[in-house]
Structure 1
Amino acid sequence: MKSLHKLSMGLCMLLSVCYGFAQEQKGSISGTVSNANGNPLSYSAIYIDELKKGTSADELGRYILAGIPSGTYTITVSEIGHDSQKEKVSLQEGQELHLNFILKENITALQTVEVVGRKEKNYKNTRSFVGAKTEIALMDLPQAVSYATKELIADQGVMRVGEVVKNFSGVNQNTFYDDIMIRGFRVNGQSNTQLLNGLRTSTGFWKQPLANYLERVEVLKGPASALFGNASPGGVLNRVTKKPLDEERNSLSFSTGSYNTLRALADFTGPLSQDKSLLYRLNIGYEDANSFRQLQFDKNIVIAPSVSFLPTDKTRVNFDLIYNSSKSRLDRGQSTFKDDLYSTPVSLSLSSANDYLNEETYIITLALNHQFTDNFSFSTSYIRTGYSEDLLEHRGANAYAVDGNGEDIVDLIAMQVFQRKRKRFIDNLSTFLNYKVQTGKVSHNVILGYDYAQEELPAGSSQLQARGYRNAANNGSINTYNPDNSAAYLLDGNGNPVPNVPHYDLTNGIASQQLKDMSKYFYNAREFGPNFYNSNGVYIQDHVTWGKLKMLIGLRYDSYTDKLNYTTNEEESVNQNALLPRIGLTYSITDYINLYGTYVEGYNPQSATNMDPNLGGPFDPLTSNMIEFGGKSTWFNGKLDATFALYKIVQKNTLYNVAGTDELEQIGEEESKGVEIDVNGRIYSNWSITASYAFNESGITKDADGNPTGVQKPNTPNHQGNLWTRYNIRNGIFKDFGIGAGTNFVTERVLQINSNQTIPGYSLVNAALYYQINKFSIQLNINNVINKTHWVGGYDYIRLFPGTPRNYLLTVGYSF
């Protein structure tokens, strides 16, 4: 038996050896991809047509295609801004073929609509559409742009734009809503000055949606009105969605962490047709998370499909849909004892267990680009945003409770209740012609365009509001308490007015957060709308190139119409218009260093709701201008970019509340000036970095009467900065591991004009560990490592927005 067993083993071994020799030894194709100047074309695409197999070059333009059977193949190499190259090759069994490609730059191949996805895979982005309406190299744009790529967003483990903006110089949170400050000027989700893929849109403001469908987030600094119509003078925030790729890439990730966080994300992309004329991408996100804030939670579902149709090399069509369903509670912030910042925990919330906020948002985008000739093209894009809100909230009435003498009770917050339903619909059409012409040694890239935007708040949007103090008959309420007329109020046994909605007791928050009997409040009804506005804009722009000098010149005429008393017999059109110039110069000192200067004007009309004479109106539109000088450079063979900017922004006619009244007044002038530095990219192929610093002086320079003043603007730190770096270990026992670390800081900020209430500056430390082998990855992010108590913003000590204490997020991912 032993002999038979040995014979069987020997036969098996012999068969295995024979089978091994019978197996074909597969070969490989490797090499580099560069441009005519010898510079590597990082992340260019290399694809074997017959095998439907491809890869991307690394930062140095190197690529390798392994496991290729013998045969004859067509290899296609492509890169945005360059002519694609095809090469027919024959590969012998086991052969290791070395093949280099040199691609010719093709300016006419640059996109006028961002249709095909970005293939770069690091913290650096070389081109943008937000600064010139068509694709332009950031080095050639005479204006500062800060950005964060999807790779940086993923490495930091963040999922909200408010968390992303800490990476940008001169940008900080104002609240933890969709609400930020850019160079000292406020931009929020309801202002309709935010962009999605360069088109005007809006969000629900209260809650920030998941960012899993975003390719990058970018901020064009300074007034952008000459390009996009009315906008904040500080800058415009643009969310760029992930677009389909012409190669198959799929990924799944699951996250869990602090505050019972559960998150699942999926990203699928690739060609739908063999000739790659039809491409798709599908991003799906699910989140169920609580918060360090009491009673707060978020349940989100995001579905974001995208389809690109490229029937010819002259025509491109793209369709995008973003659908977001959000269920949560509205968090109005932390309240403290009067003038005592540290008197309550940062977890304290004024919400009640009854409260809810249900939001639903869809954004549909359709874009078409057609090239009639190599020098003449047409682009048009349409975006529609729909938003619905269903809200019930207990919130502070922006005041402390008062006793019978009208004096503040320092540990009780006056409360109010909102029940609200409303919808908003926003439409934006952008269309332009692009013509390129050479006149002698000067080249022109001319754009002639037209924009249309409108927003409607339809009939039926309304709110029930309960607030104030009960009247003496206890059958209604009075909004404010007047101790000189105390007989008009219902008083308790201590002679204090009885609130319509019970006060929030800061000394017993748990009792104040219990379920409330909503039927016991006295309500007043308030209508929201119907409202309607539209705007029309016509503009012309020329990007002139003469040797090392480039000039961007633009002029826009914008007409804004707002309907006062919309859909009623008293309907009246309120019209405002502006003529907006823009001029910028860029000079290339070397291939790696550009200097630039720009002057641009902006405006923002005051809406018809502010034309009410009872508020002090009508008011003139906001007007602004900016002067900016700076330099842009690239280092380490193009792997690292840096921007330095000096700027001064002046805005006139800003509205502020008159103290102690509901009236508004226009102050004379605001000014913001400062210095900014941004660095993004890689020092080595396995070492990524992003860093920023900003110094800003932002204040009200002239009051309503034109008198000089030195008042600092709210929530605008003088100094802020950020550093984040990731290092991947390639050799040794820790091979396939990576580490990430960073810090961000802001200095002290004032909360209100003419107020001594401030929030302190802070420095946070964040860290991450990564492990990746083949297609599997695991990532651990630890944020606020030293557990620093801090506030990201606020209005006053009744409405503070604390930052998150120490927290962690564990993510497991798989790519295929």
Structure 2
Amino acid sequence: MKNVLICASLLGSVLVFAQEKDSTALKIDEVIINTYIKKDSEYSNKMPLKAIENPQVYSSIDKTILENQGIFTVDDAFKNITGLQTMWTANGRAGDGGAYVNLRGFVAANSLRNGVLGAVTGTIDAVNLEKLEVLKGPSGTLFGSLLSSYGGVINRVTKKPFETFGGNVSLAGGSYDTYRAAVDVNTPLTNDKKLLFRLNSAYTNEGTFQTEGFRRNLAIAPSLSYKPTDRLSINLDMELFQMKSMSDQTFFFYSGDYLKKVNNIRDLNLDYKNSYLGKDLTNTGRSINFFGQVQYKVSNSITSSTNFSSASSYSDGFMPYLYFMGDDATSMYRSDQSTRDSRKKSINFQQNFNGDFKIGNLRNRVVLGFDYLRVNNNQNFYDVNGFDKDAGGNSIPVPLHQQGFDYTNFNGTALQSMYNSMAGNEKPYLITGKQENYAVYVSNVLNITNNLNVLMALRVDNFVNKPDTAAGADERKKLNQTFFSPKFGVVYEVIKDKISIFGNYQNSFKNLDYYTDASDVTRTPVPEQANQMEGGIKTSLFNGKVSSTFSYYNIKVKDVLRSAQIAANPRAQIQDGTIVSRGVDLEINAYLVKGFTAIAGFSYNDSKYTKADQNVLDRRPSTSGSPYLANLYASYQFLDGNLKGLGFGVGGNYASENKIYNSSDGVFSLPSYIVLNASAYYDAKKFRIGVKVDNFTNERYWVGYTTANPQKLINAVGTVTYKF
């Protein structure tokens, strides 16, 4: 808690310092090289809105920050987002293998690219990233239930072709056998520069700080743009992300008497550098996305945008994991959940009409849209039900601290042999079937006065779930539901373009599967929904060089399925559960003095089950992450003199204790942590040299999504880039 108070005090000092330096800030309008200032968003409300006039809270990270910090992946860039905590690193598994994060007490994942479907189920390379946006709070009104979470929406804004030839080539290498090659090439294809092409690509190899583990990522992202007239533009893009890896070590924690002996990961005295696994437990994952956009300016006030995207993921291979249960905290179980030719395919069609016009003296900024999303699941999961077995075939644990114990016997060859012996008797877990979602939405920002605007939006959403009867699903469980999702926001600019106060009501929802009630009758659930009330203040001071957002939010989730708690029918459920998540966000982006920039954030979240099973009632959900989070990054770059182009930065993240198992039968936590990072670079006209050192205090820490996943120790990487 002491560290949190220090961080909060520092954030306040940053703002005060910026105000005191007003006279200095006003003199540096002519140059801002490090674009750390929060950018306006075209995606948060599917229309261009200034941050100061937007009733929704969002964070954005520009590519300059990624470059200065030496960041190669979108997953690593998350450390700069206020109130976001990584829960689970990417493992490449089809359908659900991407990184999971926590926002406002709820789990979220990468799902949007330039405002439409762009799901990736492995590590997302940042070679094609222009900007990362994270929209906070329930966002179902404009983005639907399948591509958003109650905590928010993650949107990647990608690099676009431009009208001159240029690009760069970079090589990097460093700790844990890390090496990388990347290229960014842009060229016009016609003399009139109406047809443009750009290619971004990278290959990365990364080892591990543990005894076994690796990750190899390939990213290829070509894009083509064509502008035949001043009114019409066409954009085509493709992304391929391929990942071969041995998944990061993952511990699960199930109920048992061992929770009476240990309640923190450190109590287990794990060997931090031991993977407890052998070789060749590998998985191959692949994501391929296609995008198309046609924009047409119908008139000076109306624009049409037609968007199409498809996402396809594939995986095949092992996914080993370790777990604790029973009454012994000195031993663990080992198992695997593999995928075989597992696939998930989605397509998204979206048509938007944007208008900016006046009715009388009132300005209206309107978006009217139609959205169609289809998901085809063919995911296949296989489990050996425990790698270590006794003579009777029952799963048994292995010792955790026995000196000389051979953990390498759990390897690819042995595991494949076990699966071969089960051939014909396997009982795979299949996720199959088709989901279709049709939606119409409208949103209008009405300027009642020059300083006051009101946002009103509504979505009508029709969800259809079609079970795969060929795989044994019950045709009678076909689901067809219609739901209305509203959104409302008010912004009053106390000082035009400088200080605004805002409030919003935001809604999101989730379609649930059938359930059995206390009378053993199959019931059709109503959509679960989350409603947020939020208010706060935004600033954009000193010609936009210091921007900040402070907000308080309250999210209530209702119609949650929970156990009916009937001993004779333990599977019976009732749909009256509730969850409340409330908290505060504070974020500051600042260009304080010439060459010196900073981004900082602090968040607090209080989540609890308010109507639930007795064993979790009034407790924080085990998927809600750490209540307190803070982030800070500051850098300085010489803009004049003999050292012009030289820059360096330092920053870090704080997270409080994370209860990954939280029930009346026991609590298990991951400890709080502070991770510090540093970087230095020299940026010249034709080349750039950079080096970063992450976790330079060698902190041993874990993140987890009801799991414990150890994170990297101190590591350094250097990068050399040639520009052309």
TM-score by length of 1: 0.76
- Which position in structure 2 is the counterpart of 1:130? 43
Instruction: State the Cα distance separating 1:440 from its structure 2 match.
Output: 2.0
1:739-754 mapped onto 2 (5 Å cutoff): 739-754=648-663
User: Would the aligned equivalents of 1:415 and 1:504 in 2 still touch at CA under 8 Å?
Assistant: no
Match of 2:416 among 509, 518, 542: 518
Instruction: State the Cα distance separating 1:784 from its structure 2 match.
Output: 0.9
Q: How many residues align?
A: 664
Counterpart amino acid of residue 518 in structure 1: Q
Instruction: State the Cα distance separating 1:745 from its structure 2 match.
Output: 0.4
- Which position in structure 1 is the counterpart of 2:139? 224
1:465-614 mapped onto 2 (5 Å cutoff): 465-468=383-386, 498-499=393-394, 503=398, 507=402, 508=405, 510-514=407-411, 515-516=413-414, 518-520=416-418, 521-522=421-422, 524-545=426-447, 546-567=449-470, 570-572=474-476, 573-590=478-495, 591-607=497-513
CA distance in 2, matches of 1:673, 1:500: 42
Instruction: State the Cα distance separating 1:564 from its structure 2 match.
Output: 2.5
- Residues 446-476 of structure 1 deviation map (CA, whole Å, 9 limit, x = unaligned): 2221100010024xx5344321599xxxxxx
User: Would the aligned equivalents of 2:332 and 2:397 in 1 still touch at CA under 8 Å?
Assistant: no
- Which position in structure 2 is the counterpart of 1:101? none
- Which position in structure 2 is the counterpart of 1:643? 549
Change (3 A) 1:394 1:432: closer
CA distance in 2, matches of 1:505, 1:759: 19
CA distance in 2, matches of 1:794, 1:761: 15
SS in 2 for 1:254: strand
- Which position in structure 2 is the counterpart of 1:7? none
- Residues 216-261 of structure 1 deviation map (CA, whole Å, 9 limit, x = unaligned): 1111111111101113111111111111223443112111111000
- Which position in structure 1 is the counterpart of 2:94? none
SS in 2 for 1:227: helix
User: Would the aligned equivalents of 1:352 and 1:516 in 2 still touch at CA under 8 Å?
Assistant: no
CA distance in 2, matches of 1:275, 1:132: 34
Counterpart amino acid of residue 647 in structure 1: Y
SS in 2 for 1:524: coil
* Percent of pairs with identical residues: 25
CA distance in 2, matches of 1:468, 1:707: 28
1:67-466 mapped onto 2 (5 Å cutoff): 122-177=35-90, 178-189=99-110, 194-204=111-121, 207-230=122-145, 231-334=148-251, 339=262, 341-342=265-266, 343-396=269-322, 398-400=323-325, 408=328, 410-416=330-336, 418-458=338-378, 461-466=379-384
Instruction: State the Cα distance separating 1:211 from its structure 2 match.
Output: 1.7
CA distance in 1, matches of 2:427, 2:77: 39
User: Would the aligned equivalents of 2:464 and 2:479 in 1 still touch at CA under 8 Å?
Assistant: yes
Change (3 A) 1:682 1:465: same
- Which position in structure 2 is the counterpart of 1:778? 689
SS in 1 for 2:240: strand
Change (3 A) 1:752 1:312: same
CA distance in 1, matches of 2:213, 2:31: 49
CA distance in 1, matches of 2:162, 2:331: 57
Contiguous gaps of at least 5 residues in structure 2 = 1-26, 91-98
Change (3 A) 1:277 1:791: same
- Residues 290-327 of structure 1 deviation map (CA, whole Å, 9 limit, x = unaligned): 11233211111111011111112211111110011111
Counterpart amino acid of residue 179 in structure 1: Y
Change (3 A) 1:593 1:432: same
- Residues 751-794 of structure 1 deviation map (CA, whole Å, 9 limit, x = unaligned): 12313111111112111111223321111101111111111224
SS in 1 for 2:661: coil
User: Would the aligned equivalents of 2:276 and 2:407 in 1 still touch at CA under 8 Å?
Assistant: no
RMSD of aligned Cα (Å): 3.2
For CA contacts below 8 A with separation 6 or more, give which structure has more relative contact order: 2
SS in 2 for 1:753: strand
Instruction: State the Cα distance separating 1:200 from its structure 2 match.
Output: 2.5
Counterpart amino acid of residue 657 in structure 2: E
Instruction: State the Cα distance separating 1:529 from its structure 2 match.
Output: 3.8
SS in 2 for 1:164: helix
1:804 matched to 2:712: yes
TM-score by length of 2: 0.85
CA distance in 2, matches of 1:121, 1:615: 61
- Which position in structure 2 is the counterpart of 1:723? 632
Instruction: State the Cα distance separating 1:524 from its structure 2 match.
Output: 1.8
- Residues 498-541 of structure 1 deviation map (CA, whole Å, 9 limit, x = unaligned): 54688575533544445416334535231524311010111111
- Residues 148-193 of structure 1 deviation map (CA, whole Å, 9 limit, x = unaligned): 111111222222333222222221111223100001001135xxxx
SS in 2 for 1:516: helix
Counterpart amino acid of residue 141 in structure 1: N
SS in 2 for 1:155: helix
